Amino acid sequence: MNVKNKTIVVTGGGNGIGRELVLNLLAKGARVAAVDVNEAALKETTSLAGDNVNNLSTHILNITDNSAVDKLPQEVINTHGEVDGIINNAGIIQPFVRISDLDFSAIERVMNVNFYGTLYMVKAFLPYLKKRPEAHIVNISSMGGFVPVPGQCVYGASKAAVKVFTEGLYASLMNSPVKVTIVFPGAIGTNITDNSGVERPGGSGKETEESKIKPLPADVAAENIIEGMKKNKVRMYVGKDSKLLNILYRISPGFATKMISKQMESLLPD
């Protein structure tokens, strides 16, 4: 779907990939409803919109609040006249700890934001999207949704749930005007650790030092996602690491798991 003159809703639009998606969509001539729980972050996104700010609306919303999400489609339609697509980008990671040390409150928070937030958005907007001549749903999973990452077991489970949910959604909407895309980003240059309220493993910056693959800039990731949306791609792997691990995990799951575990070992407490 070409996004020009379309109205697209982006969750997590206050920072990271979400902010870059908002700015990129605006630059391509779309109308955008940016959703985030952080008012200050949305204001910063607005300040960066420049001449395109008149095509931007911001919505302070907790996507884990089902009743609030249910009201969002009409708010967007009241502002922009219609809604043609949603990009479910909002997500958080868990503390870098072993599952035996992970509090249930953290487990529920991750599942609520990553899976239920995505589910609530789809359920709320789908009736409106089905009425459009063409529409699009983009759900952002993660590389961790198809390969195991020690210290991020619940995060991975939440993103795997998004993966399978989206694949089922694609199958059920094949004969409708609504196209569906699932995205698997690898390491992206964002502040997801800080934005998730998670302490950086091993101290500030250590995870960057440990990584052998340079994170993909968030604006490049956003451009790739929107291009995939334009081409109606069903599945996207964003970043060299995601593409490589997709192939490697299919060929040898055991080898890929050992490789990831070795890289993550120093980031986990004893």
Q: Is 183 helix (H, G, I), strand (E, B) or coil?
A: strand
Q: CA-to-CA distance for 58 and 61, rounded, in angstroms?
A: 9
Residue 231, pLDDT score: 96
Structural domain includes residue 109: yes
From 155, 170, 237, 249, active-site residue: 155
Residue 210, pLDDT score: 43
Structural domain includes residue 193: yes
Structural domain span for residue 19: 7-267
Structural domain includes residue 1: no
Structural domain includes residue 2: no
Structural domain includes residue 38: yes
155 an active-site residue? Answer: yes
pTM of the model: 0.92
Residue 193, pLDDT score: 61
Residue 204, pLDDT score: 44
Which residues, at least 6 apart from 10, have a Cβ–Cβ distance to it below 8 Å?
A: 18, 21, 22, 25, 32, 33, 34, 35, 86, 87, 89
**Helices marked H in 144-252 — which ranges?**
153-172, 192-195, 206-210, 218-230, 240-251
What does the block give as tokens for 204?
Answer: 């500030």
Residue 265, pLDDT score: 74
| Ordered mean pLDDT values, 10 residues apiece, the chain (270 residues) | 97 97 98 98 97 98 98 98 98 91 96 98 98 98 93 95 98 97 91 63 46 82 97 96 95 92 74
Residue 198, pLDDT score: 63
Residue 164, pLDDT score: 98
Domain count within the chain: 1
Phi, psi of 68 (to 5 degrees): -70, -40
Residue 94, pLDDT score: 92
Q: CA-to-CA distance for 188 and 228, rounded, in angstroms?
A: 17
223-270 pLDDT per residue, tens: 999 999 999 999 999 999 999 999 999 999 999 999 988 877 777 765
Residue 206, pLDDT score: 40
Structural domain includes residue 158: yes
Residue 177, pLDDT score: 97
Report the CATH number that the domain containing residue 203 is assigned in CATH.
Answer: 3.40.50.720
Q: How far apart are the first and last CA of the chain?
A: 48
Structural domain includes residue 258: yes
